[in-house]
Structure formats: structure tokens, C-alpha cells
Chain A
């Protein structure tokens, strides 16, 4: 074997540009079949799988977003409720305080009224006693005056000097009586 043999053999070989018609046919038909399968089955399935994945990922994100939103809403609700509860508590406390004050005021009023009433009653009683005392005094004075008058009349006839004495005596007695009454 030498190189000239090789070149000779190579130059004898068929033209590589000339096609085998059967190969054109097989390749053409084969590719058409493959293309048909790809169009009908393979490509739609891959596209579907791709779409599904996109949907799933986007859906997952949306779900997470929704969950977060819900959590935030719940938090806001709780906060609002807490605030409301606090306000309510404050309101109740305030109410209780004012109610207490009201009760206190009522009691004070009542006590004042009672005191006034008692005072008035006392006044009235004192007044009544005063009136009674006055009446009794008047009666006593009348009796005494009558007594005095009868004594004066009885003595007058006897002695002016004595009469004077009696009157003085009477007045002294009266004074002493009055003093005793005042000290009582």
C-alpha cells in the first residue's frame, strides 16, 4: 500500500454531492412524521407543563399574598377590638366614677336634707317649748299678779309702809325665781 494507491482509490469514489433519492424520501417522510408527532403530542405537552408550572408558582405566590393579607386584616381587627375593649373599659370606669360621684352627691344631699329637717324640727320644738313656756309664764304671772293684787289689797288697808314692803318682797322673790329659772 502506498499513497498513490490511496489517492487513486479516493478519486474513484462516488460524488458525495449526489443524493440517494431513497434517502431523500425516507428523510423527508420521516421528518414529516416526527414533525406531526411533535406538533400533535410533544410540543403541547411541554407547553402545558410549562404553563402549569407558571400557574402553580404564580398561584402559590398569590396564595401566600392572600394569607399574608388575611393575617394583616386579622391583626388589624384584633387591634381594633383591643382598642375598643380599652375604650369600653375606660368608659365603664368613667361611668362608675361618675356614678359613684352621683351616689356621693345624692347621699350628701340626703344628709343635708336630713340635717336641715332635724334642725327645723328642733327649731320647731324649741319654738313650741318657748310658746309653752311663755303661756305657762303668762299663767304664772297672772296667778302671781292676782296673788300679789290680793295681798296688796289685803295689806293696803292696813299700812302703806307695809304695802311697800310687800311689793318689794314680791319683786325680790320674783327676781330670785327668775334667776333660779335662768340658771336652770
Chain B
């Protein structure tokens, strides 16, 4: 479904039903090389997001005023949302300060890359590609395990998998479950939740666009054409739902990061 992402190509190839492979555009460098062999659009957007986040937040706080300008206020609100709303509330007043940068970078990195999916021409959430979601989940997985080891030593693994207040005879059942849940399933759900929601949202938008185009352009029946218009109207509603999900998933991803860190810092507290 190049028609949606690259309008130029649409007239030549006819109708191609959208699929996951359509989220894999030819690479930019080398130009139109096969996906996965070079530097692609998704990678470009990752880099673009880093540049934009750095630019916006450094520019907003360049000359901090006591009474902030609109830009500074916006940036400070965003910063305070992550700092207080996620960091302080989840990790706690005592320990949250060192983790503000990680949570801040995670939230805005994921948020902006998700929102790229709602911006024409960019039009694809970077995290609908599993690689990026895996990368983020691995970084955070490694971080909270390292935090647990640093705070509790090797005893951390015992604290993490042996639940307290559970009768001994149930331990043979509980311990494997805890190992699977904490150390195997957790990073997978953390990454796949983000990837799947972004990918499905993107596919829905693609499907609506491709279907509408097919109904209006290819079908001759007036009823079908009308149906195509309805699909477009429906896809607008989907677009706003997707916007909501994009923000929500960035929040959820960061919230889970904070919860994992909190669990590692205070592994002995429960």
C-alpha cells in the first residue's frame, strides 16, 4: 500500500492490499534499496525525534524566566508531568531523582515517535517496527536488573522471585511462575504492547485508506463509492482514537518503566 505513504507510487502498481510488509518501506540510503539493508525511513524518524526533542527542550529552557514564556511553560509542564506524575508518584519521594532523565527521555522519545504516525508524510509510528520496541525494552530490562543488583546484591534475584508471606509448599509452583513472569514475560509484554498497538493502529489507518481508495477509484458502482466516503469519515474518527492511543501507550510504557525500577529499588519492601 505505497499509495498511502508514497502517493507518487500509487498510480503505477494498482491496488496492493495493505499488510505488515507495507510498513517496511524501501530504505532511504541506499535510495530505494530493499528494506532492512540500509538506512530506512523508520531510522530517519528515530534520529529526527532525537533532534526534535533535544532542540525543543533546550530552546525552551535556554533563557529560563521566573515567569515562563509559553514555550517554556509547555516544556516545563511536560517535564513536570514525567518528573512528578510518573517519577515521584511511582518511585517515591526518596529515590526518584536519579531516574528523572531516563523517564523523561523514554516518555518523550516514545511519545514523539508514536505521534509521527499521525503526521502526514512521516505517517508511521516508529515503534510499529518491532526492532525499536525491543531496543527500548532491552535497555529498560537491563537497567532495572542492574538497579536491583546494585541495591541488593545477588540476593536481588531471590527477592525478585521468592514471594513473601506464601506457605512453603506452594513455593515450587510460585518460584518458576515468578521467574517466568518477571524475567521472561515482562520485557516481552513491555515491548510487544507498544509495538502491537502502534502497528495495529497503523494497519487500521492503512486499511481504511486503501479500502476507501479502492471503493471510490476502482469500483464503478455509486453505492460502493458512497461506502468509500463513509470509510473515510470513519477513518477520521479512527485517526483521533489512534492519537489517543499513541499518547496513552507512551504513558503506559514510561509508567511501566517506573514501576519496574521501583520494584527493583525496593525489592525487599514487599
Contact = CB atoms under 8 A, between A and B. Distances in A.
A76 interface: no
B173 interface: no
Contacts, number: 138
A34 B126 CA distance: 16
Interface stretch (A47-55, A103-111, A113-121, A165-173): A47-55
Interface stretch (B43-51, B148-156, B232-240, B248-256): B43-51
Nearest to A15: B20
Contacts of B79: 42-43, 46
A76 B46 CA distance: 68
Nearest to A57: B66
Nearest to B104: A38
Interface in B77-117: 79-80, 83, 100-102, 104-106, 109
Interface residues of B, number: 55
A151 to B, nearest CB: 140
Interface string A121-141: 000000000000000000000
Interface in B10-46: 15-17, 19-24, 35-36, 38-40, 42-43, 46
A46 B131 contact: no
Nearest to B200: A16
A43 B129 contact: no
A157 interface: no
Q: Which of A26, A32, A45 is packed against the most chain B CB atoms within 10 Å? A: A26
Interface of A: 1, 5-6, 9-10, 12-28, 30-35, 37-39, 41-43, 45-50, 52-53, 56
24 contacts: A1-B15, A9-B16, A14-B20, A22-B38, A22-B131, A23-B129, A23-B131, A24-B134, A25-B135, A26-B46, A26-B47, A28-B138, A31-B135, A32-B139, A34-B53, A35-B105, A38-B101, A39-B101, A41-B58, A42-B61, A42-B101, A43-B100, A45-B64, A46-B76
Interface of B: 15-17, 19-24, 35-36, 38-40, 42-43, 46-47, 49-50, 53-54, 57-58, 61, 64, 66, 72, 75-76, 79-80, 83, 100-102, 104-106, 109, 126, 129-132, 134-136, 138-139, 192, 195, 199, 214, 218
